[in-house]
A and B are shown apart, each in its own frame.
Chain A
């Protein structure tokens, strides 16, 4: 699929400024940038959730996993009902179980309500729900920023598994360059609504061409006292 000359405006503020980005079949494109750089606005436009100008071609169903696991689940619906929302004409219960299993949640959480889950558990429910919609493109907006490192690894492995097995293309958004470098084939760097650098992951991280990319690299936290 390809995003062409996409612009998103809120009033007289331009959140996304003339972005052109290709997401090749079966590839994960990582989008990095600081908060307010327009990553989420771009994601929402691709999902048809905000008005935009420009074009998005070559994709049918887009599903999104949201950043905030506290706001993305209906507090009055059980986990099972939430995950089942996108399931069409398949055996509901076994499908819910399969989806929960994919995101490493035990089947018994299906009967629980979001308030009974911790933040990380909720986010996994949201991922399961999106996968249930059988997406042609998955937009993942900061999906690991609320996850534990011990689980983050598994989810990132899962993300790559989905790409490898299902050929599921993905727009993977994160502020964590180390994470993006690991899952993405292509990395796009966004700054003030524009793409300042796009290239193969290793290249963008190894030989950054733009000052802003270098600044982002320097900001990656390191465990050295």
Chain B
């Protein structure tokens, strides 16, 4: 989780830090002043001596506001923790209880959520007795249903995950599934919610005290001070101002910080790199016609792992380029680097990374968002399960282009039709889980088409789909490319699919391009020993079933263990001494083909 220090986030953090400091230091510094009774200065308005005036015993109100911080915050914290604890327990019950009890727990939560929070708080406070304890329990009770609902929703989504199914089949006990699988995966959003709930509790408690249900004299919190000052508001309004401002400020601070944390958690990637591309290797002539022009792209992770090593690649308008290579060869990270989505703490450097003729570092998020459409392997991850398909697509046009809701929605339906989703009107009104895998993938592509992308990067969009659907989706991408002049980088480990459906194929191995050639030459014209071995290990309908399948012996070196020579050398039957020590460059091998191999070129 990486926090982006935007204005509101900074403001929130500063306010919360100030509040914490106030809670610690307030009573120590101003404690005495807050209690000093001065019969000669009763019920005064603002003056140089008492900037916020005095109360009915002549005590300084500014000091009292500053001192009340600790009590107010402590009560809010207590209320939040009580509410959260009760809510989380209530929310997890449905996943541990047997069916009947689970249904009862769910029903209770639903009923409580529907009940107005303030009423719940007041009711609890009155039942448990006036005073600070009653107020804290009351606000806790008001907070609990929200937490219960959140916990329940989160737990339900995790409980449906494949890894929970796997654990169940392995006979892992329920308790353990809850502690190892469910709770750790829902902890983060719950903790984030705590921060925001704290802000709410603060306001709620002030409200309770203000209504006379909360803190009773001689104790005082902000709400109590507000209550006392309010009766004088027409005569000396400043006496109510201090506590009101304190409550508002603290409430806003916690909400801003909670919001910023939640956003940071939702965005687990960092966009731009803070350091300038280290020694920029001479990038050579840019390719003016290319939609995507990548030169010497390198992605490194701390600890010497370099999954992408000086990769160069160009995609022309209207072209569908297939990027193939084995698992871990760096295909996805290459795509991620193009979209500025390399996960923290990855570092991206390049000689050139141009999209539509411009350096991606110069593009704003918005420009990048419209110029580039990314389609990922897992369409569910790209779609919010809670929102309808149509609304999610429309959102793109509203955010990126400031389209009106109605116009954006019309375009969404139009785009869904364009990707041949049957009954686009009806589908737009459905949730992601109501669509099949292939349909969801189309919806994600349609989402990419809401703008006018110059480049579509599709990272294994069809892995989980059968050949028929793969064909349809690739045909669809082709249509789009032909209509809009956009280009497509299609990532797959399935060399057969790529060979059949792309214009050009780029083969990657251990972070580098080892061969580039027109797709129709793949079967007969592939020259690099790795490409050839890949093709040979494809089973087809005539493969001899009595013999073990051909594969490539050994494994690809890990990204932190790539030696100085040809990375394929340990697995290559043609390897020589030179291959181990010197790395072959990618050089032309006949027209339209480039190969990085000593024995071929």
Which chain A residues have a beta carbon within 8 Å of chain B's beta carbons? 33-36, 44, 47-49, 62-64, 66-68, 70-77, 81-82, 85-86, 104, 106, 115, 117-121, 126, 129-130, 132-133, 142, 145-154, 156-157, 160, 175-179, 181-182, 201-202, 205, 217, 219-225
Contacts and interface: CB of A to CB of B under 8 A. Distances in A.
Most buried by B among A48, A86, A217: A86
20 contacts: A35-B465, A35-B468, A36-B437, A36-B438, A47-B165, A67-B464, A73-B163, A74-B184, A76-B185, A82-B163, A119-B377, A119-B460, A132-B170, A148-B493, A175-B466, A219-B466, A221-B494, A221-B499, A221-B501, A222-B496
Contacts of B171: 86, 133
A64 B523 contact: no
B539 interface: yes
A77 B378 contact: no
Contact of B169 (A63, A145, A160, A223): A63
A76 B183 CA distance: 10
Interface in B516-558: 519-523, 533-535, 537-541, 543, 545, 548-552, 555, 558
A130 B166 contact: yes
B541 A72 contact: no
Nearest to B520: A225
A156 B326 CA distance: 16
Nearest to A86: B170
Contacts of B538: 149, 178, 223
A219 B165 CA distance: 32
Nearest to A33: B466
Given A67-B464, A132-B170, 4 more contacts: A68-B464, A77-B181, A129-B170, A221-B467
A160 B522 CA distance: 29
A151 B551 contact: yes
Given A150-B552, A175-B465, A223 B170 contact: no
B316 to A, nearest CB: 19
Contacts of B533: 150
A145 B534 CA distance: 15
Given A153-B550, A157-B548, A175-B465, A71 B378 contact: yes
Contacts, number: 201
A95 B516 CA distance: 42
B161 interface: yes
A176 B467 contact: yes
Most buried by B among A68, A117, A118: A118
A149 B523 CA distance: 15
Measured as residues with beta carbon below 8 angstroms from the partner, the interface class of chain B is: 35 or more
Contacts of A48: 169
A70 B381 contact: yes
B587 interface: no
B267 to A, nearest CB: 15
Nearest to B183: A76
B467 A120 contact: no
A37 B534 CA distance: 30
B327 A225 contact: no
B166 A66 contact: yes
Contacts of A222: 496, 500, 540
B560 to A, nearest CB: 11
Interface in B147-173: 161-163, 165-172
B586 interface: no
A33 B436 CA distance: 15
B497 interface: yes
Contacts of A181: 539, 541, 543, 545
